[in-house]
Chain A
Amino acid sequence: MDNQIRTDRVTRFINTLNQAKELGLRVTETTECSLTLCLPYNERIIGNPDTGVIHGGAITTLMDTTSGSLMLCALDVFELCPTLDLRVDYMRPAEPHKPVYARAEVYKMTRNIIFTRCEAYQESGETVANCVATFMRIGPEALPKAYREKITGGPV
């Protein structure tokens, strides 16, 4: 699997998630063990109207989506892995009117559990938030074949 295939898979996947579409999430980079998504600035997700800073919930969704979609890059066979838990540390408010990026990587994978970490940052390079999460592997069979084919773009 090359990076173009990974990008296509992740793009097709996040396009099936209404909230990810609503936020305008898009793929900026994929590797065999990492994924970067971008959250564009949007006035509708502001948490603090005085400063224009976006709400932490949008960053949580960005990081959950990035960490959860990472499995499409890290596993050859598409498995949807439900999130078990997620911990977010907020380092600084995201600067308004600028996109936020999240880069997630798998740091340990077992038969049942996948451990990820993720960093949200902006173009200046400043970290906005850090997140560690665990995901449960429920196997590819937990999803209908038609949906898996839609995401992988071919027969599974």
Chain B
Amino acid sequence: MTDPEILNYTRETGDFSRLINSIPYAQFIGLECDQFGDDLIFRLPAKDQNLGNPVLPAIHGGVIGGFMELSAAIYLMLAQETVRMPRIVNFSLDYLRAGLDRETYAECKLTRQGNRVANVMITAWQKSRSKPISTARAHFLLED
């Protein structure tokens, strides 16, 4: 999926701009990522084009899903020591609160890493980390 050279550059510098620029869908929704030591925080700045429900207004549930799914894939790519490209198998998403028209954050956790399959938990929140708007679980197949 992603050039190993870009992946190494991202690992060494903690600068995600090249990696994000290489994935059109990441730019389409406006995903960004910041590294704090070993921790990665994914960000989705407020964007009109990402809205669904116009009455609230709220971010489209599918965009929240896409944001979390892509965050998990990037997280997993960087967590691998070798260049193994994760392929998503399935994705299970619980919506806990409406995602309002403001910046959204996501954090991932590798629950289990097997030889071929990885299980990743993703949590997304807005103003308060203790009030997640969504939690998700994804399985990825790892291929050399």
Contacts and interface: CB of A to CB of B under 8 A. Distances in A.
A44 interface: yes
Interface in B83-106: 88-95, 98
A54 B62 CA distance: 14
A16 interface: yes
Contact of A86 (B24, B55, B93): B93
Interface residues of B, number: 34
B51 A18 contact: yes
Contact of B25 (A47, A65, A147): A47
Contact of B60 (A43, A64, A89): A64
Interface stretch (A2-10, A76-84, A109-117, A120-128): A76-84
B110 interface: no
Contacts of A27: none
A141 interface: no
A19 B30 CA distance: 13
Range for the number of chain A residues in contact with chain B? 35 or more
Nearest to A150: B54
A61 B60 contact: yes
Interface in A94-145: 143-144
Nearest to A68: B61
A20 B52 contact: yes
Interface of A: 16-20, 22, 43-50, 54-58, 60-65, 68, 80, 82-90, 143-144, 147
Interface of B: 1, 22-25, 27-29, 48-55, 60-63, 65-67, 69-70, 88-95, 98
